Structure formats: C-alpha cells, structure tokens
Structure 1
C-alpha cells in the first residue's frame, strides 16, 4: 500500500449568508467521490468564539501539539523548537505589527500583509519597539516582516486569539483577558501613542503606505518537550484567503480549483489503495474521514446513501 496522505482544508464552509448564496450551485464531484470512499473518523465541535479556529486545532493534533480551543497551543514555542538554537521550556509568542482602524464603535484589525512591510522596515520598527517590550521582560526578535518572535514569562499561560480569528474584525472580543494580559493592554496603549506621530509612519505616509499603529500577540505558550517530528498535512490556503477577504465569489472558484486539484489527487490515491485522511474545517468545527476496511453492508449503504458535502456543511 502506498504512503498515507492527509489533506486539511480550512474555511471549507462559513456561516456568512454571502457564503451560502455563493455556494448554492457549487458542484464538487471529486469531493463527493472521495467522501463515498472514506469512513468517518472523528470530529472537533466548537464555537465561532473559540480563540483557536478548527483548522489550527486540527493541525495541532496532527503535529502532536495541544489542540485547545481557548487559544493556548504554543505555536511560537513549537516553531522555536525546530531551530538548532531553540531553547526548550521557555515561553514564546508571535507578535505581528499591524494597523488598527479605530471607528466610533469598533476597532478593526487590517490584514498585516496590506502594510507591505519589507524586512528592512520591519527590523527598523522592531528596533524602535523592542526597548518598550524589554521593560516588561519581553524580548523581541525578528522572524518575518509581519511576524516577530517574543520571549517572556508572561506568555507561559496566556490565552491568545489566532490572527485568523481577528482579521478584518473588531479586536475587542478577541483581546486576551487575564492578569498577565494587563501588561499587553498597557503596551498596546503605549505603542499607539508612540507611533501616532512618529517619523517612521511619516515616512510611510510619504510613500502612500498605511501606518503601523498596533500589534497582535498570538501563538503564545511554553513547550516543555517538542513532539516527535511528523510530516505536515497538505493545507491549501486559497479558501482561507478568500473567506478572510469576504470575497465569496473567489471562495467558490477556489473550491472548484481545489476539487479539480488536491481533492482529485487524493481521490485517485485512495482509488489506487492508498491510505488517506481528509479534514474539512469551518469556523466552528472540523470533521475528518479516513481510509478504513468496509464490510459489504457498509459499501452498499454508501452506494444507496452516499454522504454529500451539503450535509457535511451542517457539521462545520
């Protein structure tokens, strides 16, 4: 038998009314074919208000990490554990510089990618903010233009909302709420005041670029011992990207491309006797299927009453 494959699809569905309208005539023949060949495996049922979205919980389980809905999967610590110099047992978090658009009754976090920060600008901004964080025992280090690493004891048990949860949304329901988070709340205010009239943003404005006026902490926690190395699942991002933009036409088109591409390849793999796992994730829950021996009765039942994506969506 050939090797086992795992296809993990985030934002396979959304409760948004626009998504329902966009998908009324959505035809996914390869997915229907694949669901008819796989057996239900397990599910992860949650809420749209969970700090960790279903696709992150599913990925964490696959990698052997804690898959907690309250936002305490130590993603940054896991990332550090994979580097030669990664310090075990320390508490880490990701810090993403971003823009908060403050209105009369909400404060919306724009996608950090829209800032168009390059490495030089990101490093300059990090150097500007690092002393403020250092005063509270937080050490910042560069990782990517829109994602830095932060090390500090306050991240050990801090529940933080995934960046996917808060993109293009009001940040207030997603702010960490604990004694440890008070330090971050103060830092939020200090950073906003510092950057409001800083030459760093003046230079960006002269280039027609949006200001950086905030940051978002996510992926916090400590990892006493890293899990055994495992191959990551195939995890397309096209549905996610379209859903977070609220572009449901692009989302529908992305589903059709996935059906003709990764889903079709997985269906062919299963048809050839290969082991496989499929995980579909919505904004509340995730459902998985896998290859498993099926008796005659179960095969007949799948032919007479095949599982359809339309019914699966109700579980997501």
Structure 2
C-alpha cells in the first residue's frame, strides 16, 4: 500500500496557525516505522507541483517540469484514441477576477458546474477549437480535453499552482516555446470573447479557460499496484482555511494513515507527503534495526517538524 498525500503542508498563515495545535498520533507512529526517506526537492515556482511529480514518477514518465502528460493519460482512461507522442491538455472552464493590475483565478470547484450549465459553454467552444485545428473533447463538466500536436511540447502550469493567484507569472514560457505559447494565448483570448457573449446563470460566470496537464502521450502503463491518492487536504489548503485543513488532516490520520499502521509487518508500505515545494517518500528500511525486532521504537519525529519541511 502506498498512500500519496497532496497539500500535506502549504506555507500559508492559516495553515501555519492550524499546524501548531494539530495532533496526528498515527502519523507520528508511522513515521517512526518508515525510516527510509526519499526526497524530491523543488520550489514553489515549478509548473508541476510535487504531488504531480510523485504520480509521474510512479507511472515511469520523464520528469520534465510542466510536461507531465496527465491529460493524455486521462484521455486514454476515458477510452479515447491516444497515439503515443500525441499532444493533449486539460481545459478547465474557469472564472478570472480582474483587478486593477492583475487577474486571479477562482477555484473551478466553487463554480458548481454540472451538465446543464457546462454543456452550452463546451458546445460554444467546439467550433472555435476546430477552426484552429484543435479537437475539444468532453470529460466532465469542470474539465475538458484538448488535442493538438503543439500540446506535446508546451509546458503548462498545473491548475493547483494558479488557483487564487495572479495568472500572469504562470503564462510565461521559455524563449524556445514562446511561439507555441502565443498560439495558445490567442485561442484562450478568443475563447474569452465567446464566453463573454453567453448568458450564464452563475454567480461567478465562466469567463476564461486554463490549459494544464500537457506533454507527449506516454506508452500505456498500469496504475501502480496499491497506490492510493487522498486529496481531502487540497480544497482547504488552496483556500487557506486552516481549521478545515486541520480537520481534514485529523480525518486522514484516523483513516488511511491508521490503515497503513495495521498492514502486516512484511507488507510493502509507503507514504508520500507532498507540499508546495518538496515531497518526502517514507518506506520501510530493507532491514529492521534490532530495536524494532525487540518491539521497541525510538522517539518518532514530530509530524509538525516533518510537514514544515515540505
């Protein structure tokens, strides 16, 4: 069993306050048992956050920042024809709040999109994409799929990097891919104009789209056996709701974390904790120290100490 936990920590004011009084007894016991640590060091400005890098590593994909082909894999999982090397992207219908100097992106989950209000938006953009030589596929109300050769080589920022933030820094690109980015930005601007003309019965209307999950479609690979991704910390972390994040951590500690503790002693067990910058993968050591075999565990590291390193 391998548990992947995105947003185990974020360096925000609300989460910092919540962590100071957060008791996670099962996590502390587990950290004492899983002493082999594999780090993944990054920074908060990478296009691909640590949890996406961890998932890509598990699938055996090349770790190229902003080119982890999550959309191509989702298309294949949905039953679409996905040739190896083809270009795909997630298309997120989003609401951008325009201020005097910048635009910030609202969490699409807050828009409460469903088939009734999302299908007209999708249908209105299909001809626009087709005229540009792209194909737009429906995946679910809050996430669509785009197909075009350009998307195999265009790095894009994960939606998790952009929610609640100024979008401009995440729309830049290295000089060698800026010609491709200009085509994508033009399509994005045209989509904004189309969406502006539609009457939308939403408090926060969809007024733009966001591309993510790009990269060349990999060869089919199975889901790693025993892997479980628990995303319950994501929403409160992105919203900087410290109390809700702490409550989600306590539920995680009492559920999946405790389940890891109950696995047989010889079972392969791993825990990957991901923050905004780094990830730490904890696994059993190849041989147990003598004090483990006697049933005695040394003092475990405090969870708060481990989490703040992420």
Q: Same fold (TM over 0.5)?
A: yes
1:232 shift after superposition: 6.2
* Distance change >3 Å, CA 84–CA 17, structure 1 → 2: closer
Pairing partner for 2:83 from 85, 88, 110 = 88
Confirm whether residue 217 of structure 1 aligns to residue 217 of structure 2.
no
1:170 shift after superposition: 1.0
| Cα deviation code 1:236-268 (max 9, x no counterpart) | 222111101211110011111111111111111
Q: Distance in 2 between matches of 1:126 and 1:83?
A: 17
Secondary structure, aligned partner of 2:215: strand
Q: Distance in 1 between matches of 2:188 and 2:222?
A: 36
Q: Distance in 1 between matches of 2:225 and 2:203?
A: 38
| Cα deviation code 1:250-288 (max 9, x no counterpart) | 001111111111111111115x44220011111100001
| Cα deviation code 1:187-225 (max 9, x no counterpart) | 2222222332x1x2x2x2xx4532111000000122242
Pairing partner for 2:110 from 95, 114, 132 = 114
Secondary structure, aligned partner of 2:89: strand
Secondary structure, aligned partner of 1:180: helix
Q: Distance in 1 between matches of 2:13 and 2:119?
A: 41
| Cα deviation code 1:92-137 (max 9, x no counterpart) | 1111111111001221111112222222432221221122222222
1:228 shift after superposition: 3.9
* Distance change >3 Å, CA 256–CA 132, structure 1 → 2: same
Instruction: Answer yes or no: is the 8 Å Cα contact 1:161–1:176 preserved in 2.
Output: no
Pairing partner for 2:163 from 164, 167, 173 = 167
Q: Distance in 1 between matches of 2:190 and 2:77?
A: 33
Secondary structure, aligned partner of 2:118: helix
Instruction: Answer yes or no: is the 8 Å Cα contact 2:9–2:308 preserved in 1.
Output: no
Confirm whether residue 295 of structure 1 aligns to residue 289 of structure 2.
yes
Q: Distance in 1 between matches of 2:110 and 2:13?
A: 26
| Cα deviation code 1:142-170 (max 9, x no counterpart) | 11101111110110111001111111111
- Matched with 1:74 is 69
Q: How does 1:32-51 map to 2 (within 5 A)?
A: 32-51=28-47
Confirm whether residue 250 of structure 1 aligns to residue 244 of structure 2.
yes
Confirm whether residue 53 of structure 1 aligns to residue 49 of structure 2.
yes
1:307 shift after superposition: 2.5
- Matched with 1:101 is 97
Q: Distance in 1 between matches of 2:301 and 2:72?
A: 39
Instruction: Answer yes or no: is the 8 Å Cα contact 2:192–2:209 preserved in 1.
Output: no
The normalised TM-score by structure 1 is 0.89
- Matched with 2:131 is 135
Q: Distance in 2 between matches of 1:172 and 1:31?
A: 38
Q: Distance in 2 between matches of 1:213 and 1:291?
A: 48
Return 5+ residue gaps in structure 1 as ranges.
Answer: none
* Distance change >3 Å, CA 145–CA 83, structure 1 → 2: closer
Confirm whether residue 283 of structure 1 aligns to residue 283 of structure 2.
no
- Matched with 1:194 is 194
Pairing partner for 1:29 from 21, 25, 32 = 25
Instruction: Answer yes or no: is the 8 Å Cα contact 1:96–1:217 preserved in 2.
Output: yes
How many residues align structurally? 303
Return 5+ residue gaps in structure 2 as ranges.
Answer: none
Q: Distance in 2 between matches of 1:27 and 1:85?
A: 45
1:28 shift after superposition: 0.7
Q: Distance in 1 between matches of 2:80 and 2:132?
A: 24
Instruction: Answer yes or no: is the 8 Å Cα contact 1:136–1:183 preserved in 2.
Output: no
Q: Distance in 2 between matches of 1:217 and 1:121?
A: 20
Instruction: Answer yes or no: is the 8 Å Cα contact 1:116–1:209 preserved in 2.
Output: no
1:184 shift after superposition: 1.6
Instruction: Answer yes or no: is the 8 Å Cα contact 2:92–2:210 preserved in 1.
Output: yes
